[in-house]
Amino acid sequence: MSTRCPTCGTIYADDAKFCTKDGGRLLPHGTGSTPAAPDPRSTTPRLGQASVPGKAPINHSNMAGQVLDGRYAIVKKVGEGGMSFVYLAHDVSTNERYAIKILSPALSKDENSMARLRREASLGIRLAHPNVCNIVRLGETEDGLVYVVMPYVEGEILADRNHRLGVMPLAQTVEFIVQMCEGLNVAHELKIVHRDLKPENVMVCKREDGSEFVVVMDFGLAKERKAGGELEKLTATGIILGTPEFMSPEQLRGKPLDARTDIYSLTLMMYEMLTGKLPFEGRTQQEMMIARLRSDPIPLSQRRPGMQFPEAVEKVLAKGMARNSEDRYATTLEFADALKAAVGGGGNGGGMIGRMLGR
- pLDDT in the model for residue 16: 59
- CB of 339 closer than 8 Å to CB of 179: no
pLDDT for 197: 93
Round to whole Å and give the CA distance between 148 and 125: 11
Task: Give rounded-to-5 percent helix, strand, coil for the chain.
Answer: 35, 15, 45
Which 8-state DSSP code applies to residue 297?
P
Give the pLDDT score at 21.
52
Terminal-residue alpha carbon distance, the chain:
42
Phi, psi of 264 (to 5 degrees): -60, -50
**CATH of region 156-357:** 1.10.510.10
**Which amino acids are annotated catalytic?**
196
* pLDDT tens digits in sequence order for the chain, 359 residues long: 677 665 556 776 665 555 555 444 556 665 333 333 333 333 333 322 334 444 555 677 788 888 988 899 999 998 887 678 899 999 999 999 999 988 888 888 888 878 877 877 787 788 889 999 988 888 888 878 889 999 999 999 999 999 999 999 999 999 999 999 999 999 999 888 898 899 999 999 999 999 999 999 887 554 333 333 333 333 222 333 346 789 999 999 989 999 999 999 999 999 999 999 999 988 887 888 888 899 889 999 899 888 889 999 999 999 999 999 999 999 999 999 999 999 985 433 344 444 444 44
Write the DSSP string, 31-93: SSSPPPPP-HHHHSPPGGGSBPTTSS---TT--TTBEETTTEEEEEEEEE-SSEEEEEEEETT
Dihedral, CA atoms, 217, 59, 10, 184, nearest 10 degrees? Answer: 10
pLDDT on residue 11 = 73
pLDDT recorded at residue 5: 67
pLDDT at 163: 94
Q: Of all helices (H) and strands (E), which one includes residue 247?
A: none
Could you tell me if 101 and 188 are in contact, meaning their C-beta atoms sit under 8 angstroms apart? no
- Report domain extents, the chain: 1-30, 36-151, 156-357
CA distances from 62 to 85, 102, 116, 175 (A): 9, 10, 27, 38
DSSP label of 349:
T
The whole-number pLDDT of residue 335 equals: 98
CA distance 341 to 359: 12
Query: What kind of fold does domain 36-151 have according to CATH?
Result: Phosphorylase Kinase; domain 1 (3.30.200)
Number of neighbouring beta carbons within 10 Å of residue 47: 12
pLDDT at 13 (0 to 100): 67
